[in-house]
Amino acid sequence: MTDAPRVRFAPSPTGYLHVGGARTALFNWLYARQTGGIFVLRIEDTDRDRSSDDMVSAILEGMTWLGLDWDEGPWHQADGFDRHRADAERMVEDGLAYHCFCSVDELKTRREEAEKAGTGYRYNRNCASIPAEEARARCAAGEPSTIRFRVPEGETEWDDLVHGPTRFRNEDIEDFIILRTDNTPIYNLAVVSDDVFMRITHVLRGDDHIANTPKQILLYRAMGAAVPAFGHLPMILGADGRRLSKRHGATAVGEYQTRGILPGALTNFLALLGWNPGDDQEIMTEAELIARFSIERIGKKSAVFDPEKLEWMNGQHIMATPADELLRLLAPDLVERGLASREEIVDQRDWFISLIELLKPRSRTLVAMVDQMIPFLAPTVAYDPAATAKIWKDRDAVIAGLDAVWQAFDALDEWTPETIEAALRGTAERAGVGFGKIVHPLRLALTGSQASPGIDHVVLLMGKTRVRDRINSAREILLRNETEPSHG
Ligand code: GLU
C-alpha cells in the first residue's frame, strides 16, 4: 500500500490571501480530500520585514471562509531555522556545499564587470576548491561566510504533472547560496528542508516557481530525500491578458466575501481557472469538485479571471442554496444596515424566507439581495429620478390610477397573489387602460424603481399597511410634484 499523498499550501504572509493563492490552496486541498491525503498549511514567514501577523490572520480567515480546512499546521517556516542550518551544514560535510568567503563588495564588483563585458554573471566558484580543513579553520577564526550549493554537472529533469518532461542544464545554474552570513536560510533551502521534514509528496504551485524547481530538486538529492512530484499551475490573467493584479479590481478573497459572493461559488469559479472537468458542467458543489478534480485535467494555458462570470456563477449558487441558509448568511448584514433587528428576523422568519425565495432568482450577490429587500423593510424608499421622470410623467393619471388601485386593494377580503392580481386587472379594465399603465406606476410607488419581482408577490409580501403608506407618500410627492428622493 502506498502512503496517502501529503500536499501543502505555503503562502508568504506579505499580503492578504489573493485569488491566485486561494486557487493554489484549493487545488492542493481538492487533491488531498479526494485521495484521503493530508493538507498541510505552512506560513513562509522567513522574510521577517515583509511578513506580518495581520496578514497571517487574514490568510487563515480567508481559507476558513472558503472551507479549505488544513490537517496540519499552520507551521511557521521561521521556526525551522535551526533545521535549515543543520541541513546546510550537513551538505558541507558531505562535500555537496561549501563555505564561500567572497565579500559582498567583491561579488558586486565581479557582477558589474560581467555586466559591462556583456557576459552573463554567474558566481565564479572562487571558494569551491578551498580545502575543507582550511574552510573550517577560517570559520572557526570568525571569518564571515555564506554556504553555497555545489551544482553538479549534467542536467536536472522532472516530469511535471502539468507541463510534462521539463529539463534545465545545470551549467545554467550557478553555485547558489543556501545559507546567508547571518545563518538564515535562502528561500530554496527553507522550502526544501521543510518539504522534506513534512514529507510532502506532491507540490502543486504557481508556474512562477518553475525556475526554482531544478535548484530544489538538486537540494532534495543532496539531502538524500525522495523528490516529490511537481505540478505547476497556469498563471491567472486579467481580461486584458496581463497578469491578474489590483488594477483588474478585487484580488483579495476577503473583498469577495464583503461583496456577497458565496464561498462555494468562489471555490467553484477558482477550480475552473486552469482545470476543467472534461465536459461542459460548470456549476459544481464542493463535493462534486472533490469527486471530479484530477491533476491530469489541469491545463498549461493561462486562465482568464472574468468577474462577470464569477457573479453569474454566484447567482447560480444562490439559486441552489436553501432560503433558510441564505437568511442565516444575510442576517448580520440586515442588522448592520438597520433594516431589521435580530428579534424581527426570528419572529418573522417565514416572511423573510418567502421574501428570499422571491428575490433568489434576481440576485447575483448577497449584497444585491439585501439591496432588493430595502423596499420591503425600510420605512421609506428613494425614488429613482430617471424612473419617475419616465413613469410618473402624466401626474394626474398616475394619481388617479394609484387611488383606484388602493380602493380595489382595500376592498379585498383575502390578501393572496390571485386576489391581488385580479384587483389590478379589474382596476385597469375599469379605467380602460392597459395592465402596464396601472402596474408600472404602482411598482415605482412601492419599490422606488422600475424593476422588481412580479407585482402580485411584491404587494403580497409588502403587506396591506405598507402598501397603503407607500401609495400615500407617492401621492404626496406627486402632488408636490417633487419626485426627487425623499429619503434613502
Ligand atoms: N511561499 C511561496 C509563495 O508564496 C510558495 C512556495 C512554494 O509553494 O513552494 O509564492
Cell digits of residue 228: 516529490
Catalytic, 246? Answer: yes
Among 482, 462, 440, residue whose Cα is nearest residue 378:
462
Atom in ligand 1 nearest the alpha carbon of residue 8? 8
Q: Measuring from atom 6 of ligand 1, which residue has the nearest CA?
A: 10
198 alpha-carbon distance from chain centroid: 26
Please report, rounded to a whole number, the percentage of residues in the chain having pLDDT higher than 90.
92
Summarize the confidence of residues 107-112 as an average pLDDT: 93
Q: Is 11 in the pocket of ligand 1 (CB under 6 A)?
A: yes
**Is 486 part of any domain?**
no
369 and 246 fall within a common domain: no
- For 152-184, write each residue's pLDDT tens digit: 999 999 999 999 999 999 999 999 999 999 999
- For 230-242, write each residue's pLDDT tens digit: 999 999 999 899 9
The amino acid at 386: A
Summarize the confidence of residues 120-129 as an average pLDDT: 93
**Is 487 part of any domain?**
no
469 and 396 fall within a common domain: yes
The single residue of 108, 246, 309, 390 carrying the catalytic annotation is 246
Strand partners for 233: 206
Among 176, 165, 192, 396, residue whose Cα is nearest residue 300:
165
Atom in ligand 1 nearest the alpha carbon of residue 205? 8
399 and 340 fall within a common domain: no
145 alpha-carbon distance from chain centroid: 43
What letters, b where the CB count within 10 A reaches 16 and e where it falls short, cover 152-181?
eeeebebebbbbeebebeeeebbbbbbbee
257 and 295 fall within a common domain: yes
Atom in ligand 1 nearest the alpha carbon of residue 208? 10
CATH of the domain at 473: 1.10.10.350
Residue 249 predicted with pLDDT over 90: no
Q: Measuring from atom 7 of ligand 1, which residue has the nearest CA?
A: 10
Tell me the pLDDT band of 486, cut-offs 50, 70 and 90: very low
Cβ(416)–Cβ(468) below 8 Å? no
Q: Is 12 in the pocket of ligand 1 (CB under 6 A)?
A: yes
Q: Within 10 A of 399 (CB to CB), how many other CB atoms are there? A: 17
**Is 446 part of any domain?**
yes
For the chain, what is the domain count? 4
Summarize the confidence of residues 434-454 as an average pLDDT: 96
Q: Which of 320, 348, 366 represents a domain boundary (last residue)?
A: 320
Our mutation pick for probing the ligand 1 site, out of 18, 23, 44, 186, counting the most ligand atoms within 8 A of Cβ, is 44
214 and 126 fall within a common domain: yes
In three-state secondary structure terms, 84 is helix
29 and 100 fall within a common domain: no
What are the DSSP calls for 126-176, one per residue? TTTTS-HHHHHHHHHTT---EEEE-PPSSEEEEEETTTEEEEEEGGGS---
Tell me the pLDDT band of 246, cut-offs 50, 70 and 90: confident
Using the Cα atoms of residue 271, residue 274, residue 279 and residue 282 in order, give the sign of their dihedral. Answer: positive
Tell me the pLDDT band of 482, cut-offs 50, 70 and 90: low
**Is 105 part of any domain?**
yes
The whole-number pLDDT of residue 119 equals 83
The amino acid at 32: A
**What is the whole-number distance in angstroms between the Cα of residue 262 and the centre of ligand 1?**
26
The whole-number pLDDT of residue 105 equals 94
Q: Which of 320, 345, 365 represents a domain boundary (last residue)?
A: 320
The whole-number pLDDT of residue 487 equals 45
Residue 402 predicted with pLDDT over 90: yes
**Is 55 part of any domain?**
yes
DSSP 325: H
Summarize the confidence of residues 465-469 as an average pLDDT: 97
Q: Is 147 in the pocket of ligand 1 (CB under 6 A)?
A: no
**What is the whole-number distance in angstroms between the Cα of residue 480 and the centre of ligand 1?**
65
394 and 444 fall within a common domain: yes
Measured in degrees and rounded to the nearest 5, phi and psi for residue 203 equal -110, 110
- For 171-227, write each residue's pLDDT tens digit: 999 999 999 999 999 999 999 999 999 999 999 999 999 999 999 999 999 999 999
Q: Is 191 in the pocket of ligand 1 (CB under 6 A)?
A: yes
Residue 384 predicted with pLDDT over 50: yes
Cβ(406)–Cβ(471) below 8 Å? yes
Q: Is 205 in the pocket of ligand 1 (CB under 6 A)?
A: yes
**What is the whole-number distance in angstroms between the Cα of residue 10 and the centre of ligand 1?**
5
107 and 192 fall within a common domain: yes
**Is 390 part of any domain?**
yes
- For 8-41, write each residue's pLDDT tens digit: 999 999 889 999 999 999 999 999 999 999 999 9
Domain residues for 348?
321-377
CATH of the domain at 42: 3.40.50.620
Q: Is 34 in the pocket of ligand 1 (CB under 6 A)?
A: no
61 and 10 fall within a common domain: yes
430 and 408 fall within a common domain: yes
Q: Measuring from atom 5 of ligand 1, which residue has the nearest CA?
A: 10
Q: Within 10 A of 341 (CB to CB), how many other CB atoms are there? A: 11
Q: CA of 193: how far to CAs of 33, 165, 183, 190, 228, in Å?
A: 25, 24, 15, 5, 12
In three-state secondary structure terms, 68 is coil
Range from 94-103, 109-118, 472-481 that averages highest in pLDDT: 94-103
Cβ(78)–Cβ(185) below 8 Å? no
Cell digits of residue 332: 448580520
Read off the pTM.
Answer: 0.92
**Is 204 part of any domain?**
yes
Measured in degrees and rounded to the nearest 5, phi and psi for residue 178 equal -115, -25
- For 319-329, write each residue's pLDDT tens digit: 999 999 999 99
| Residues whose CB falls within 8 Å of the CB of residue 206, separated by 6 or more in sequence, listed in order | 20, 24, 232, 233, 235
Q: Which of 320, 339, 365 represents a domain boundary (last residue)?
A: 320
Summarize the confidence of residues 442-470 as an average pLDDT: 97
Q: Is 20 in the pocket of ligand 1 (CB under 6 A)?
A: no
157 and 212 fall within a common domain: yes
DSSP 299: -
424 alpha-carbon distance from chain centroid: 46
114 and 220 fall within a common domain: yes
Residue 179: its H or E element? strand 177-179
Mean pLDDT of the chain: 95
What letters, b where the CB count within 10 A reaches 16 and e where it falls short, cover 87-119?
bbeebbeeebbbbbbeeeeebeebeeeeeeeee
Q: Is 209 in the pocket of ligand 1 (CB under 6 A)?
A: yes
- First-to-last alpha carbon distance for the chain, in angstroms, is 66
Q: Is 212 in the pocket of ligand 1 (CB under 6 A)?
A: no
Q: In 3-state terms, the chain is what percent helix, strand and coil (to 5)? A: 55, 10, 35
HSE-CB at 392 with a 13 A cutoff on CA atoms is 30
Of residues 424 and 251, more confidently modeled: 424
**Is 75 part of any domain?**
no
| Alpha carbons 384 and 193: distance in angstroms, whole number | 62
| Alpha carbons 148 and 380: distance in angstroms, whole number | 72
